[in-house]
Amino acid sequence: MSTIRSFLSLAHAGWVLAREGVVSEFPSDGLPPPAKFAHRIASIIARRQATDREQSERLSIALNKLGPSWIKLGQFLATRPDVVGSATARDLSLLHDSIEPFGLAEAKKRIEQSINRPLDEIYSEISKPIAAASVAQVHKATLKDTGETVAVKVIRPGVRARFRKDMQTFYAAARFVDKTLEEAKRLKPVSVVDMLDQSAKIEMDLRLEAAAFSEMGENTKEDEGFRVPEVNWEFTGRDCITMSWVEGIKLSNVEALRKANHDLEALSVTLIQSFLRHTLRDGFFHADMHPGNLFVDAKGDIVAVDLGICGRLGKDERRFLAEILYGFIKRDYLRVAQVHFDAGYVPPHHDVTSFAQAIRAIGEPIHGQSADTISMAKLLTLLFEVTEIFDMQTRPELLLLQKTMVVVEGVARTLDPKFNMWKSAEPVVGAWIAKNLGPAGIMEDAKEGVDAALRLAHQMPKLAKRTELLSEHMQGMIANGMKLDPETTEAIGKAEAKNNRWGHVALWVITGLLAWQIFS
């Protein structure tokens, strides 16, 4: 029953995407016959006014019609240009929620249930929603005890149940694509849905977002020009966050910032340096830094809100990023290439000097331009395209970084069209290189190596015992062979036959349902 329900839901989604002219925009080359037939139908049924719109607008309208889970899918896929392509990822990165807010009475009910306190004991007043998105909405309130003005973010009713239901459809679609399109296998569509599932579960527990605010607040407390709201943990739960109110001008309102006499050039530098500092120094960055999530307060500080999506980089990834950026700044392409090999991102059977030649093909044209036209985000995009030739595996954390850098750099250039990305980045990148790759960094690496060796020494008795047990099992298999019992063999056969059967049935069911919706 759940399989049929998923296919019906998938067919409905296909209908909406087709009507809004999204499906007809994608190429049909390489599709199996039923899918090609469905593609032709989609071209016929696309609404005339839909085909006159830009692709990004078509996607936005279709995903908003399908609901919160599909919006979240679109926003997630914007971070995966390796899956949907660079052009589609750019379109999806422009996707913003246009969801109607839910009522104040329901919001009050959810707050009370989440923190297990009567609302009139907490707030002296609470406003109607002032902002609404696919997962949650925000209210302005006043704390009863202190009179402090706060922002209260409340989870949308039913969003978790709706998402669980839609996830079944996403998994059905991923398995369908995996079985029917040979070239899609390398993109691991089921793994992509797994990542979306995990990401959304984290975003829908507002305690985790509160923890992200707390962590970033600690990391940036000494930083000039950047801060995040403070969380009130007493009035925060799974379904709501209470945090300090941000009074300021959105970074998207450039004219208002100019009228308030804010230094736009200084703001653009602060924005990019803050992002790079969070990425390199802390290994923890805000991964949804569109201008609607960034405010400028009366002091001129940038205040970031909505930390539902965050990115993390380990020390190796941070070193990788810093060395690449610094190598391009200094035009040391062999160094950039060697970093890829040292990090294990490019397989060792390739030649490092040939890879350096490919890197030079990216760097030299950029250095031929004026500094204010060079895009670091474009450089990373070209870099990842070149590395595909050298079998570099997809690195999701680097793709999220690339997507965020595209957005942050775009915001900086709206503030200052002549923004010099390299000049702004060099102090942060250079300082990180000096600290972490100089003598102090070598000492820190040595200390970590000693710590790791001590931990390994503590584990040696357990490892020796496990090795002994493994050796005994291996000897047993060598002597007696590895055997599967009849029940296991039969189950494997049935599962394989069932999977093949459903793969073919799925193609025709979806095509039939689309045709039925057209002619009914």
Distance CA 414, CA 398 (A): 24
Torsion angle defined by CA atoms of residues 306, 309, 310 and 316, in that order, rounded to the nearest 10 degrees: -160
CATH number of the domain enclosing 116: 3.30.200.20
Which is nearest to 49 in space by CA: 25, 72, 18, 20?
A: 20
Confidence grade of residue 230 (pLDDT, cut at 50, 70, 90): very high
DSSP state of 15: H
Query: H or E segment at 34?
Result: helix 33-45
| CA dist 468 → 5, 159, 462, 477, 478 (Å) | 50, 50, 10, 15, 15
Please answer whether residues 70 and 159 qualify as being in contact, where contact means their C-beta atoms are separated by less than 8 angstroms: no
Tell me the mean pLDDT in the region 132-141: 90
Note whether residue 345 is domain-resident: yes
**Is the separation of the CB atoms in 217 and 184 below 8 Å?**
no
> Is residue 446 scored above 50 in pLDDT?
no
Whether residues 123 and 187 fall in one domain: no
Which of 38-52, 123-137, 407-421, 500-514 is the least confident region? 500-514
Does residue 514 form part of some domain? no
Q: Residue 223: pLDDT above 90? A: yes
More confident: 226 or 413: 226
Cα 178 from Cα 33, distance rounded (Å):
16
**Residue 438 pLDDT class (50, 70, 90 cuts):** low
Averaged pLDDT, 87-92 = 68
Among 398-407, 446-455, 471-480, 494-503, the range of highest mean pLDDT: 398-407
Handedness of CA 319, 325, 326, 327 (dihedral sign): positive
Q: Dihedral sign, CA of 412, 415, 417, 421? A: negative
Do residues 124 and 159 both lie within one domain? yes
Query: What is the rounded CA–CA span in Å between residue 326 and residue 432?
Result: 10
Q: Are residues 37 and 181 in the same domain?
A: yes
* φ/ψ bin of 316: left (φ > 0), alpha (ψ from -120 to 50), beta (otherwise): alpha
Residue 53 lies in a domain: yes
Residues of the chain above pLDDT 70, percent: 65
Same-domain status, 228 and 322? no
If pLDDT is split at 50, 70 and 90, which confidence band does 54 have?
Answer: low
211 with 302, same domain: the answer is: no
- In a domain, residue 115? The reply is yes
- 326-338 mean pLDDT: 83
Element (H, E) at 308: none
Predicted pLDDT of residue 193: 82
pLDDT at residue 73 greater than cutoff 70:
yes
Total structural domains within the chain: 4
Separation between Cα atoms, residue 17 and residue 101, nearest integer Å: 24
- Say whether pLDDT at 507 is over 60: no
Reference 158, options 67, 243, 62; nearest CA is 67
Catalytic (active site) residue 288: yes
Catalytic residue among 91, 166, 239, 288: 288
Nearest partner of 251 among 230, 274, 219, 283, judged by Cα = 274
Average pLDDT over residues 81-98: 64
Q: According to the 3-state scheme, what is the secondary structure of 311-345? A: EECCHHHHHHHHHHHHHHHHCCHHHHHHHHHHCCC
C-beta of residue 308 within 8 angstroms of C-beta of residue 209: yes
C-alpha 503/C-alpha 496 separation (Å) is: 11
Distances (CA, A) of 70 to 190, 232, 239: 16, 31, 21
Residues 363, 388: contact at Cβ < 8 Å?
no
What are the two backbone dihedrals, phi and then psi, of residue 224, each rounded to the nearest 5 degrees?
Answer: -90, 135
Q: How high is the mean pLDDT of the chain?
A: 78
User: What local confidence, expressed as pLDDT, does residue 326 receive?
Assistant: 78
Mean pLDDT for the stretch of residues 167-175: 83
Distance from chain centroid for Cα 49? 31
pLDDT of 153 above 60? yes
Residue 498 has what pLDDT? 52
- State the Cα–Cα distance between residues 404 and 422, nearest whole angstrom: 17
Question: Which has the higher per-residue pLDDT, 484 or 361?
Answer: 361
Residue ranges making up the domain that contains 468: 439-481
Tokens in use for 36? 């090609």
Residue 489 belongs to a domain: no
Can you tell me whether residue 39 is helix, strand or coil? helix
Residues 213 and 324 in one domain: no
Q: Which residue has the higher pLDDT, 395 or 401?
A: 401
Structural contact between residues 508 and 176, judged by C-beta atoms closer than 8 angstroms? no
417 has pLDDT over 50: yes
Residue 29 CB burial class (10 angstroms; 0-12, 13-18, ≥19): exposed
241, part of any domain: yes
- On whether both 259 and 386 belong to a single domain, the answer is yes
Contact 189, 176 (CB under 8 A): no
| 443 and 325 assigned to the same domain | no
Q: Which of 64, 45, 67 is nearest to 520 (CA)?
A: 45
Q: How far apart are CA 380 and CA 399, in angstroms?
A: 9
The answer to whether residue 427 scores a pLDDT higher than 70 is yes
Question: What is the DSSP secondary-structure string of 440-496?
Answer: HHHHHHHHHHHHHHHHHHHHHHHHHHHHHHHHHHHHHHHHH-----HHHHHHHHHHH
How high is the pLDDT of residue 454? 56
Tell me, what's the pLDDT at 445? Answer: 47
**pLDDT recorded at residue 168:** 84
pLDDT band at 489 (very low <50, low <70, confident <90, very high): low
More confident residue, 76 or 296: 296
Give the per-residue pLDDT at 23.
66
Residue scoring higher pLDDT (418 or 384): 418
pLDDT surpasses 90 at 52: no
Q: Which of 228, 245, 262 represents a domain boundary (last residue)? A: 245
223 is a domain residue? yes
What's the CA angle centered on 93, arms 90 and 95, to 5 degrees?
A: 125
**One domain for residues 148 and 296:** no
CA atoms within 13 Å, Cβ hemisphere of 35: 18
Q: What is the pLDDT of residue 143?
A: 95
Count the alpha carbons within 13 Å of 214 in the hemisphere toward its beta carbon.
12
Mean pLDDT of 324-332: 79
Same domain, 216 and 313: no
Q: What angle do CA 35, 163, 201 make, to 5 degrees?
A: 120
Query: Does residue 311 fall inside a structural domain?
Result: yes
Check whether 428 has a pLDDT greater than 70: yes
Question: So what's the pLDDT on residue 206?
Answer: 94
Euclidean distance between CA atoms 447 and 440, whole angstroms:
11
Mean pLDDT confidence for 204-224: 94
- Work out the pLDDT band at 518, boundaries 50, 70, 90: very low
Secondary structure in 3-state letters for 483-504 = CCCHHHHHHHHHHHHHHHHHHH
Choose one of 205, 228, 245: the last residue of a domain. 245
Same domain for 349 and 367, yes or no, is yes
pLDDT at site 331: 82
Handedness of CA 518, 18, 193, 292 (dihedral sign): negative
Q: Do 286 and 241 lie in a common domain? A: no
In the chain the first and final C-alpha atoms are separated, in Å, by: 24
